[in-house]
Amino acid sequence: MRRVVRRQRGFSPALGRSPQAFSRPGGSAAQAAGFTLIEVVVAFGLLALALTLLLGALSGAARQIHQAALSGRAALHAQTLLAQVGAGGGLEPGHDEGDLDQGRYHWTLDIAPWTDPRLPTDGLASPGAARLLEVQLSVRWGARDGERLQWRSLRLAPAEGTLGATQ
């Protein structure tokens, strides 16, 4: 039995497929190889663009996580500071400030008498009545506006000159 070997165009048993087998009609082998190279370059360009976008998103997420951690820590410090306001004695108007965590957080506390802007201020309050004080606390941990938290609260303080009020 005789074996028939068919030869295909562009096929050589020693070399495999020749570049002519991949050429397009009307084009040369050099043009076909160049077109494949362009495809590879474009694919690498798209891959680089996708990786750039992905790494940018990941770094943005890491920055947001870090910012949330700093903000949460500032809220814990503020909760502690607000719990201490008026705890050791009377609550008096004034200003105080300080630093926490080796200077990472700077806080400012302002206490001032509060009056309702809708009510007339013609002295209707009785002399022995309790008074409302507005407590404003600001905690800052950076230079940007987003790196600051503020709280406002009203506290009831005994009237001046009564038992429990400091003089």
Residue 135 pLDDT > 90:
yes
| Residue with token string 């087998």 | 21
Amino acid 34: pLDDT: 63
Looking at the domain assignment, is residue 25 inside a domain?
yes
Looking at the domain assignment, is residue 153 inside a domain?
yes
What gap in Å lies between CA 139 and CA 74, rounded to an integer?
Answer: 6
Looking at the domain assignment, is residue 75 inside a domain?
yes
Looking at the domain assignment, is residue 1 inside a domain?
no
Looking at the domain assignment, is residue 2 inside a domain?
no
Q: What is the pTM of this model?
A: 0.59
The boundaries of the domain holding residue 50 are 21-117+130-167
Looking at the domain assignment, is residue 10 inside a domain?
no
What gap in Å lies between CA 88 and CA 18, rounded to an integer?
Answer: 92
Structural domain tally of the chain?
1
Instruction: Dump pLDDT digits (tens) for 34-92.
Output: 668 899 999 999 999 999 999 999 999 999 999 999 999 999 999 999 998 887 777 88
Specify the range with the lowest mean pLDDT, choosing from 30-34, 40-44, 104-108: 30-34
β-pair partners for 157: 131
| Contact predicate 111/132, CB 8 Å | no
The helix/strand/coil state of 12 is strand
The C-alpha angle 28, 30, 34, rounded to 5 degrees, equals 125
Looking at the domain assignment, is residue 14 inside a domain?
no
Looking at the domain assignment, is residue 13 inside a domain?
no
User: What does the DSSP assignment read for 93-159?
Assistant: -EEEEEEETTTTEEEEEEEEE---TTS--SS-S-TTS-EEEEEEEEEE-SSSGGGEEEEEEEEEEPP
The helix/strand/coil state of 92 is coil
Residue 12 pLDDT > 80:
no
Exposure letters 76-99 (e unless 16+ CB within 10 A, then b): ebbeebbeebbeeeebeeeeeeee
